[in-house]
Amino acid sequence: MNQPYRLAGGGAIDRTRPLQFTFDDRVYDAFAGDTLASALLAHGVHLMGRSFKYHRPRGPIAAGAEEPNALVQIEHGGGRTDPNTRATAVEVFQGLYAHSQNRWPSLKSDVGVINDFVSPLIPAAFYYKTFMWPRSFWDKLYEPAIRRAAGLGEAPHQPDPDRYQHRHAHCDVLVVGAGPAGLAAALAAGRAGRRVLLIDENPTLGGTLAHTSTEALADWRDRLTEELVGLPDVTILTRTTVTGYYDHNYLLALERVSDHLPPASSVRQRLWRIRAGRVVLATGAIERPLVFVGNDRPGVMLASAARTYLERFAVLVGRRPLFFTNNDSAYAVASAMKAAGAEVVAVVDVRSDPKGPLVQAARDAGIIVRTNAVVVGTEGRHRIHQAALGTLDDQGVLTGHLGTPVGCDVLLMSGGWNPNVSLHSQGRGKLRYDDGLAAFVPDGGQQQSASAGACNGVMNTARAVAEGAAAGGGAVDAPAFEEPEEESLRPVQVVPSDRSGARAKAFVDFQNDVTAKDLGIAVREGMISIEHVKRFTTTGMATDQGKTSSVNAIAIVAEQLGTPIPAVGTTTYRPPYVPLTFGAAAGHSRGRLFDVVRRTPMHGWAAEHGAVFEDVGNWKRAWYFPRSGEDMHAAVQRECKAVREGCGLMDASTLGKIDVRGKDARAFLNRVYTNAWSKLEPGRCRYGLMLRDDGFVFDDGVTACLADDHFHMTTTTGGAPRVLAWLEDLSQTEWPDLEVYFTSVTEQWATMALSGPDARDLLQPLVEEDISAAALPHLAWMEATIAGVAGRIFRISFTGERAFEINVPAGYGRHVWQALVDAGEAHGLCLYGTETMHVLRAEKGYIIVGQETDGTVTPYDLGMDWIVSTKKGDFAGKRGLLRPDLQAEGRKQLVGLATLDPDVVLDEGAQITAEAEPRIPARMLGHVTSSYMSPNCGRSIALALLAGGRERIGSHLFVPQLDGPAVEVEVVAPVFFDPKGERLNG
């Protein structure tokens, strides 16, 4: 076995299932149950990455989710690639392929390390201050250079082939974390018959007890687990991390369903969307690093991590560990490692006289303890090989060296424990500083939640169990184990050192390469808020969200500012607690399932006949029907001519349709349209314009009177939902006294617009009723039987031609459409799409809401004074139109623009100026809203909104183009074809 640091026995690994994996092109052995980090450490490999900014060699400091250094890229080809994955959280499977990041050409010889040597030139906020000017350098020089030099992993280049799910869950009690407090909480709640969801990020339950070597604790854990599993209303999710805690006890959790298996086994990850009646947070505590010079060298680790590697993975992280601590907990690790065969060099303790039971036990085991002592520096290129020690006085001042540097192969540190308050804080719970722990603890939750155990500052197992059980609503027996009491710690914000120079760095935030010095710079530059210090130095802003760094950073800033730590406060903890994949966030909502696609009843016909479609909202609309060899321009020009010379047929089914009914329906229409509806008789229809209360155009459409209390309203395609919502709002909240009901019938009707001089000749033979001009004049409608189908025919024209809008029940749409197409053969019927519709209506100067209007346009601006009733009472927008600004001179008005060169088509959206080459900044007089080549006019046409436009008719202005010089135009009336409107009658 080629795993020199693996112990012969113990651990929660399965030695009967050996595995192989690849890291940086080398194949390693592992066992089922290993993480990538534990397996590499079993081979004595500590160097796993390069730091973000200085490219310093880095190894793991932790064994769990808090790991800042050991970020790797998991790579399985075909779009399966995960950058910035913590090696401590990756479970090894056969064939796992991983490589290190942010190094070139290799992890051991990385040229980027030059940044470390020139680091005096790149202090905190260097990027902000340096890469500012000139602006043009950003895209070409600064951004790419920074990206290359200061980087993390590489984003995937291909679509993600894996499957992801979302699942909704509701529970009475959600317990986050299955350590002593969490197990007790879940059991108490489960015994009381509550629906419980217990979530833990590890593969097995137990938290700190998951792999304990203490029999009494293991027994207790197993007994509780067994009872929990047997409770019918308790659901247990392992390998699942609660990533976000939002309002009203809504939480997200990421379940890594098959990340521990070879790819493509099943669903990869599942995002749980949880609504909990009550939340019990039992998220434990995270050990705090000590801030000393050289604390980032591979081999420098948290003492608790060494214990996890020992107990869970049977891995000794080093054979000659040196400990550096300010509290008792590291002593337990020292004793355990010594018992496992390590040669403990010493425990360096900043305290003057530690004598708690754990300290005593270590001494009894023969471990040397150095008191009033600190580590002042470390040596070793890719791995620590020695540390220099110094002595401290009571004021924390360095008083001298302590012997010569001592040899070691790992340095295991403990700066105390930070209750893991991330979720509590995300859920808007308050925090309070606890002097004894030198850390922040929860101080009241805002939601229906409680923190229990170590995350609440309770570090004793029995007390954590009691607190957890109480939070779960009951009582649970504590383990039969007398836990040694610990003495208080001695806080030390930055360990003093006699080392100086550029490379004497004491790191606070390992992942973002923020040192104690950087925090000092921030304070000297005037940052007094921790939120400012955070942004100035980027401390706590890396992918690990400051799990190991934030409390240290706050303490150091407080010391620099000379204020107490509580006065500095904390930064905001934000979701996600651990990085979430985009795949999990998207779930099924990708590709075809990303959004709803709405198709009309005639969609299939159009697709079969070569239509090119465009997206209009969720709708697919036929855009144009190219014949062979035609491009879009040629097709549209042909379609436009054919409609005016013969007849054309368009699918208009996407128009919004609202059935308006009730005894006050007519009164209601009078209040939402600008024009009068009192006299519209059954059998007639009318164009209407809707305004918002501010006086601006909101939507338009034709509404038909079906009966005195029944109307068929049409809206724009995109406006249908908001018009319906607006009508409902007014009806329910503003005018509840009016009896009127609204029903969306958009999808109940297939709508076909038949236009052109030959339209009636084509249609009449298919219709049983008389549709002559006398029987069915412009703006009339009738019930009719079309191709055997009962429907409605409206005389509505959006082309300016004689036109019929045929509505039949959606299910008959394609049948009637086919009948029209068949009948059309003799008439040279032209199928046309939305682009031709746009050109034809622009030739007539008909507006499109959203194109000629933008939410700041009044009917008067559009020259539609005729549609605003001056006689009727209040209607939406009536008072708004009286606002002084809406009455002012010089407002933008709808006009036509005719280019002097008739072949030039203006850019839509282009600005209008008085001169061809105005002085910059130029005065913008307006903009082009619609612009087309019109075959029926034999020239280009454009509509525009132009300041004082109607008074400028006849004058010449300029329209600068995206490419090429400004185009000279003449301002004209906004109707280019059949200005008298004679063609639509008859």
Partner 1 sequence: MLLIDCPHCGPRAEIEFHCGGQAHVVRPGVEVEDADWERYLFVRANPKGAHLERWVHLHGCGRWFNVVRHTVSDEIERVYPMGEAPPGGTAA
What residues line the site for partner 1 (CB under 8 A)? 246-250, 275, 428, 446, 693-694, 725, 728-729, 732-734, 736, 873-874, 878-880, 882-884
Closer Cβ to partner 1, 281 or 905, answer by number? 281
CB of 711 to partner 1, least distance (A): 19
Terminal-residue alpha carbon distance, the chain: 96
Cα separation, 697 vs 877, in Å, equals 9
Nearest distance from residue 883's CB to partner 1, in Å?
Answer: 7
Please, what's the b/e burial string for 725-739 (b: 16 or more CB within 10 A of its CB; e: otherwise)?
A: ebbeebbeeeeeebe
- Chain-centroid distance, C-alpha 939: 47
Rounded to whole angstroms, the maximal C-alpha distance in the chain is: 114
* 36-68 residues labelled b (16+ CB within 10 A) or e (exposed): bbbbbbbbbbbbbbbbbbbbbbbbbbbbbbbbb
Angle at 840 between CA 835 and CA 843, to 5 degrees: 130
Spatial separation of the C-alpha atoms in residues 176 and 158, rounded to whole Å: 35
The 3-state DSSP class for residue 618 equals coil
Residue among 629 and 884 whose Cβ is closer to partner 1: 884
Are 782 and 966 in contact by the 8 Å Cβ rule? The answer is no
Least Cβ distance, residue 736 to partner 1 (angstroms): 6
- Residue 479, phi then psi, degrees to nearest 5: -65, 150
CA 891 from centre of chain: 40
Q: How far is the CB of 275 from partner 1 (least distance, A)?
A: 7
User: What's the closest the beta carbon of residue 518 comes to partner 1, in angstroms?
Assistant: 34
Nearer to partner 1, 487 or 693 (CB): 693
Residue 781 in tokens: 């409608």
Least gap, CB of 856 to partner 1 (angstroms): 14
Q: Which is nearer to partner 1, 693 or 709 (CB)?
A: 693
CB of 696 vs partner 1, minimal distance in Å:
11
Q: What is the DSSP string of 330-343?
A: HHHHHHHHHHTT--
Minimum distance, C-beta of residue 108 to partner 1, in the bound complex (Å): 48
Q: Identify which of residues 593 and 882 has a Cβ nearer to partner 1 in the complex.
A: 882
Minimum CB separation from partner 1 for residue 718, in Å? 17
User: For 794-811, b where at least 16 C-beta lie within 10 A, e where not — what string?
Assistant: bbbbbbbbbbbbbbbebe
CB of 570 to partner 1, least distance (A): 18
Residue closer to partner 1 by CB (options 737, 903) is 737
The minimum distance between CB 875 and partner 1, in angstroms, equals 9
C-alpha–C-alpha distance, residues 640 and 841, integer Å: 10
For partner 1, the closer of residues 394 and 737 by Cβ is 737
Which residues, 6+ apart, have CB-to-CB distance to 740 below 8 Å? Answer: 660, 661, 662, 663, 664, 665, 667, 668, 731
Shortest distance, position 733 Cβ to partner 1, whole Å: 5
Closer residue to partner 1, CB minimum distance, 871 or 980: 871
Closer residue to partner 1, CB minimum distance, 92 or 881: 881
For the record, the structure tokens of 736 come out as 């509840």
**Smallest distance from the beta carbon of 661 to partner 1, in angstroms?**
16
One-letter amino acid of 760: R
Nearer to partner 1, 482 or 595 (CB): 595
The answer to whether 844 and 941 are in contact (CB under 8 A) is: no
556, containing H or E segment: helix 550-561
Look at the block and give the residue holding tokens 């009646």: 277
Name the minimum Å distance from CB 450 to partner 1: 17
CA angle 858, 862, 866 (to 5 degrees): 90
Q: Output 216 or 725, the one with its CB closest to partner 1.
A: 725
Nearer to partner 1, 248 or 980 (CB): 248
Number of other CB atoms surrounding residue 496 within 10 Å: 17
Contacts of residue 148, Cβ cutoff 8 Å, sequence gap at least 6: none
Min separation Cβ 728 and partner 1, Å:
6
- Residue 466 identity (one-letter amino acid): A
Unique residue bearing structure tokens 């990206």: 147
Task: Please name which of 736, 740, 737, 713 lies closest in space to residue 656, comparing C-alpha atoms.
Answer: 713
- Cβ nearer to partner 1, comparing 395 with 870: 870
Which three-class secondary structure string do you get for 771-822? CCCCCCCCCEEEEEEECCEEEEEECCCCCCCCEEEEEEEHHHHHHHHHHHHH
Tell me whether residue 734 or residue 770 sits nearer to partner 1 (CB atom).
734
The Cα 794–Cα 783 span in angstroms is 9
501/873 with CB nearer partner 1: 873
CB of 882 to partner 1, least distance (A): 8
Torsion sign (Cα): 576, 579, 582, 586: negative
The strand pairing partners of 98, in sequence order, are 23, 74
Q: Which is nearer to partner 1, 430 or 827 (CB)?
A: 430
